């Protein structure tokens, strides 16, 4: 299949990193659209999901959709479309964890609390978590540059 899959999401959804990882592993062409930055896209997602801005929402070339799919559902759909999905490597699994919003949130909280309370270990932990979150998001940032 050569037509792009459209993946609607936002930065705070913890389901987006695993879905993107599976699409990447499958080698599927897809376009990621952040509905918190695109009003038209948000409205489209609300229409697809009967009034809810549920993400991840995937729209396939034939017009069919998947909303908040289980891993097994997305795997089955991709394989039905002719995309073999290899198992995730350890490195890919680590990257998915680093991309979750909670890593970013804890980093910010620790970085704010550490200096305010004089607990330097929290400051360091916050810095490490923010750096890890940045590293986790680096592949996405680089893919947008292409």
Are the C-beta atoms of residues 75 and 25 closer than 8 Å to each other? Answer: no
**Tokens 């930065």 correspond to what residue?**
11
Residue 11 CA, chain-centre distance (Å), reads: 7
Whether residues 98 and 133 share a domain: the answer is: yes
Whether residues 49 and 113 share a domain: the answer is: no
**Tokens 């070339």 correspond to what residue?**
61
Are the C-beta atoms of residues 68 and 54 closer than 8 Å to each other? Answer: yes
Give pLDDT tens digits for 55-77.
Answer: 999 999 999 999 999 999 999 99
Burial of 54 (0-12, 13-18, 19+ CB in 10 A): middle
Whether residues 67 and 28 share a domain: the answer is: yes
Give pLDDT tens digits for 78-137.
Answer: 999 999 999 999 989 998 988 888 998 999 999 999 999 999 999 999 999 989 888 877
Whether residues 56 and 113 share a domain: the answer is: no
Residue range of the domain that includes 59: 5-88
Whether residues 106 and 125 share a domain: the answer is: yes
Return the sign of the alpha-carbon dihedral for residues 40, 41, 43, 48: positive
For 13, other C-beta atoms within 10 Å of its C-beta total: 19
């Amino acid at each position: 299949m050569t037509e792009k899959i459209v993946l609607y999401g936002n930065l705070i959804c913890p389901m987006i990193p695993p879905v993107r990882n599976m699409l990447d592993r499958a080698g599927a062409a897809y376009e990621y659209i952040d509905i918190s930055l695109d009003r038209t896209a948000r409205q489209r997602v609300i229409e697809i999901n009967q009034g809810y801005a549920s993400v991840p929402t995937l729209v396939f070339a034939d017009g069919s959709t998947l909303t908040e799919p289980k891993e097994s559902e997305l795997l089955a759909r991709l394989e039905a479309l002719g995309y073999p999905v290899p198992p995730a490597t350890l490195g890919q699994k680590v990257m998915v964890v680093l991309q979750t919003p909670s890593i970013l949130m804890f980093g910010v909280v620790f970085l704010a609390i550490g200096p305010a309370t004089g607990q330097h270990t929290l400051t360091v932990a916050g810095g490490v978590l923010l750096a890890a979150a940045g590293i986790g998001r680096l592949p996405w940032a680089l893919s947008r540059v292409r």
